[in-house]
Structure 1
Amino acid sequence: MAFVVLGTGTAGYLYLRHLEGNVTTTDVGDAGKGGFSRDEAFTILVIGTDKRTGKGNGGYGDRGSTGHADTTILLHVAEDRTNATALSIPRDLIVDIPDCPTKLEDGSQKVVPGQRGVRFNRSLGEGGRDPGCTMRTVAGVTGIKPDHFMMADFNAVKTLTAAVDGVTVCLEHPVDDRESKLRLPAGESTVEGEDALAFVRTRHSFGNQGDLDRIRAQQHFLASLMRKMASGDTLTDPGRLLRLAEAATKALTVDTGIGKVSTLKDIALELRKVPTRNIAFTTVPVRDNPAEAVKATVVLDESKAPQLFEAIRDDVPLTEVEERRKKDNARESAADAARLKGPRAPASEVRVRVLNGGAPAGSAQETVRWLQAEQGVVEAENAGNAFAARSRSTLEYAPDQAAQARRLADIMGLPGSALKPGGSVTGSQGLPTMTLTLGRDFLGAGVRLDRSRTVMPDVEKSTADTVECAR
């Protein structure tokens, strides 16, 4: 929010140049994206490390800690900016950490060997693992590849909360925690600095004293911080905005793809478009590790986790906006639905050229092989890359090819909105041919593109506009 306000006028420009020197960056290579686009969905891995550097932090926990992924949230912002999902990843989740190429300070590169069946928090810090290793681990676990990362340590909690003059938290019962030094009465309190850090570190006073209950308390804290940053009191107070900008740039480490303050400002502008009521917090579905007699770690709940990951990948909201969108679609998609009604041509008569318009490399050829070998669309051909990338896959066809288009829509799971009546082109055999362009929504040959088929699992969630008390 500070970047948004400061990004106007000459004085704002000069101050942004000053802030540029505060930003710390890490090159994570191909673990992330090279830049940021305001026209796409984006996913940022927010990492809270337990590194003890900074004034007053040496006495917390493991004094010599290299800094592990203590608190990790995968923040996915939908392409249309109507909603966002913040997915917490438990630090004690058992995962496979892949081999991780890392760049050293002298510019050389080394590969940190991976490990199988270890705690997720070991994906950072141990053996020289950088945030790129955590990003690769998240991609392997969830199938969602983070575009960028933002990392903060203990100091970030203290300085950011002080910059906004404190964050309101709520407790169902009074807390006097000897481990974290948190002492608060029941009900609402305002915390900042050391008290704010104690709140997010507290585990033994919430729920069953495990990390999952601490995660819920942290989600309540972050929701309150979001409300405070978006409030009129913050946005209309120049002094508070300056403190917030200084604190944010000094506290955060980001990847080189978003390492410029102007890019961070763009991200802030896009985040600002999402209503707090449609920012949902949830946690990776897990269950106790069956391999342990004394329960200390967790594993994925395979009955829920895959569906949740798929919903996030498909931009399906966890909030009320999805119901509203379904109603809007029902009113607006009569013409789209009509395109799917009518006779279907045999698969052997479907002629289509496939273009890659933003899907992963090799997707066009993969799709052609799948259509020919498994679906009987023998007249499919690879036409290379489209002139421009697009967010959604489309099928363009001439009026006399409507029966072919409906057959291919059935095979690919294309919704009616993806069908674009118009003209056809001449294929390699000299015959009129439809054009299928695979967009960024393409997840692989055989994976249906009809987003309405995504199943929303029953998971516990909350929204950023709701005040909840930790218990």
Structure 2
Amino acid sequence: MVLGSGAPRRRWLLGLVVLAVIGLLGAGAVAVGRAVSDRGADRGRAPVATASGPATPTPAPGPTTPTGPPPGADITGPLNLLLVGVDTRVSAPGWEPHADAVLVLHVPRGLDRAYLFSLPRDLLVDIPAFPRAGYAGGRTKLTHAMSYGSRVPGKPKEPSAAQGYDLLRSTVSGYTGLRIDAGAVLTFAGFDKLVDSLGGVDIYVDQKVTSLHRRPDGKHRDPAPGGYTGPQMVYEKGQRHLNGWQALDYARQRYIDGGDYARQRHQQQLVRALVRKILDENLARQPERVQQVVDALGDTLVYAGGPRIVDIAYALGGLPADRLVLVGLPGSGVGRGTAYRGEQLKAVGREFLTELRAGRADAYLAAHPELRIRS
């Protein structure tokens, strides 16, 4: 597969939503990717990603007649996108980013449907050696691949999220057996602006969720020894319209019934709700509307290397929202004696990955409907 020619940045909206919705922690963003031609030539090799400054918006083109094929016209799939939300804790100098949300979007050949699934942040995996960060490799939680890979020898207070992504990408690829074609490492400063720029989002809250972090007026709760204090925002079960900070806050909560697996489900539901709104209102093909969203995000998006997101976004612009299938992979805790070591996927989840690689995901989901997340 070869990526097509570029197009103005004003058409990035669909790609930004799919990528930015899961950037659920922190401030700033780094998107990283890899060329997706010669699919078998460099399997397993880490992509080159170098942090860059804030992207400069491309000026809107004049009233000229377009020539040649549209952007992304030669992208036929399959595509695998790795979407990572990181906890950067920018207030703590030298804090290594942790992968707090890890999602994979698989788009089969033909680009007529897509599957979105999450991997638990505490999934017990084999992390390969990573000489650039001085990491010897080991078996530990998936979230640590980002932090271990972000270490820059000689610069302990300057961790690199782009470098951390490289190790996380290799780890996820090794676990799932999927080649990762492109991805994003995102934090959530600007996420609420994104949702607000779209006029909020409509989502079905599938269980009562009490916020650990926010008050009903949106202000942050006060930290204190033993936990936060003050009144709490509550999201009652039912159809709700959420503004930016509410959508972000709702999707972050994991101390709820179902724990981190419920949080994964809520993040995926939020992705689909935003994509549905964009497609239903044809926003991805309204240049001035998209420019408003891009301007609102400002310098919270920093891109580095790899294929142009604009081409992927435009190629997926015709994907119906109801063909974006949310998949929940159940898991359970792994321990040694009384010590908790992490999570493991249950057999039905591991088998889904096998069937996905073989192009038999629909048949497998029909036989295991409990894996489909409804919204």
Residue 190 of structure 1: which of 232, 235, 241 is its match? 241
Question: Which residue does 2:140 correspond to in 1?
Answer: 118
CA distance in 2, matches of 1:215, 1:136: 21
Note if contact 1:156-1:251 (Cα within 8 Å) is conserved in structure 2. yes
Question: Which residue does 1:31 correspond to in 2?
Answer: 46
2:80 partner amino acid:
T
* Residue correspondence of structure 1 range 305-454 to structure 2 within 5 A: 305-318=349-362
CA distance in 2, matches of 1:316, 1:247: 40
Residue 332 of structure 2: which of 264, 287, 293 is its match? 287
* Residue correspondence of structure 1 range 185-334 to structure 2 within 5 A: 185-204=236-255, 206-208=256-258, 210-232=259-281, 234-235=283-284, 239-247=288-296, 250-258=299-307, 263-291=308-336, 293=338, 297-301=342-346, 303-318=347-362
Note if contact 2:122-2:143 (Cα within 8 Å) is conserved in structure 1. yes
CA distance in 1, matches of 2:47, 2:260: 28
Note if contact 1:83-1:317 (Cα within 8 Å) is conserved in structure 2. no
Using a 3 Å threshold, how does the CA distance of structure 1 residues 171 and 300 change in structure 2: closer, same or farther? Answer: closer
How far 1:149 sits from its partner (Å)? 1.1
Question: Which residue does 2:96 correspond to in 1?
Answer: 66
- Does residue 167 (structure 1) correspond to residue 217 (structure 2)? The answer is no
Using a 3 Å threshold, how does the CA distance of structure 1 residues 25 and 279 change in structure 2: closer, same or farther? Answer: closer
1:42 partner amino acid:
L
- Does residue 131 (structure 1) correspond to residue 165 (structure 2)? The answer is yes
- Does residue 77 (structure 1) correspond to residue 103 (structure 2)? The answer is no
- Give the root-mean-square deviation of aligned CA atoms: 3.5
Question: Which residue does 2:122 correspond to in 1?
Answer: 92
Using a 3 Å threshold, how does the CA distance of structure 1 residues 85 and 248 change in structure 2: closer, same or farther? Answer: farther
Using a 3 Å threshold, how does the CA distance of structure 1 residues 235 and 26 change in structure 2: closer, same or farther? Answer: closer
How far 1:51 sits from its partner (Å)? 1.7
Higher helix share: 1
How far 1:307 sits from its partner (Å)? 2.2
Residue 42 of structure 1: which of 65, 74, 79 is its match? 79
| TM-score, length of structure 2 as denominator length | 0.67
Note if contact 2:104-2:117 (Cα within 8 Å) is conserved in structure 1. yes
Question: Which residue does 1:417 correspond to in 2?
Answer: none
Note if contact 2:205-2:236 (Cα within 8 Å) is conserved in structure 1. yes
Note if contact 2:209-2:253 (Cα within 8 Å) is conserved in structure 1. no
Note if contact 1:311-1:456 (Cα within 8 Å) is conserved in structure 2. no
CA distance in 1, matches of 2:9, 2:115: 34
Note if contact 1:285-1:459 (Cα within 8 Å) is conserved in structure 2. no
Residue 52 of structure 1: which of 86, 89, 99 is its match? 89
1:184 partner amino acid:
Y
- Does residue 148 (structure 1) correspond to residue 178 (structure 2)? The answer is no
Q: State the number of aligned residues.
A: 294
Using a 3 Å threshold, how does the CA distance of structure 1 residues 118 and 241 change in structure 2: closer, same or farther? Answer: same
CA distance in 1, matches of 2:173, 2:102: 13
| TM-score, length of structure 1 as denominator length | 0.54
Please list every run of 5 or more consecutive structure 1 residues that lacks an aligned counterpart in the other structure: 1-5, 8-12, 102-109, 323-453
Aligned identity (percent) is 21
The higher-RCO structure (CA 8 Å, 6+ apart) is: 2
Which deviates the most, 88-97 or 289-298? 289-298
2:134 partner amino acid:
V
How far 1:116 sits from its partner (Å)? 2.2
Report the secondary structure of 1:154's partner residue: coil
2:244 partner amino acid:
G
CA distance in 2, matches of 1:159, 1:239: 17
